[in-house]
Amino acid sequence: MAQTNINIRMDENLKKQFDQLCNELGLNMTTAFTIFAKTVVREQRIPFELSAASPNKETLAAIEEVQKMKQDPALGKTYTDVDQMMKELLL
């Protein structure tokens, strides 16, 4: 069977962690990706559950703050005009 190359870009730290785990499992990264690709083709699906990332604490706090501001407009300034908002932001 003819071989081909694939280039994959990923975070350097993730690559190091993935390489280390593969080595611990007695694999190299090429073998791990080949196993993944064969499983995807055989099962016609991604072989694990995908879901949206959960917001981090900072984002959850920001969402909560906005919800409070919506309930009590005295907690923050509101705008009906983007130009007005931008003028005040850039002052």
Written as tens digits, the pLDDT of the chain (91 aa) is 899 999 999 999 999 999 999 999 999 999 999 999 999 999 999 999 888 788 899 999 999 988 888 888 788 777 888 998 998 889 8
pTM of the model: 0.55
Backbone φ/ψ region at 44: left (φ over 0), alpha (ψ -120 to 50), beta: left
What is the C-alpha separation between 15 and 36, in angstroms, rounded?
A: 16
Q: Give the Å distances, CA to CA, from 23 to 17, 47, 65.
A: 10, 21, 46
The closest of 30, 35, 37 to 15, measured between CA atoms, is 30
Rg (CA), the chain: 24
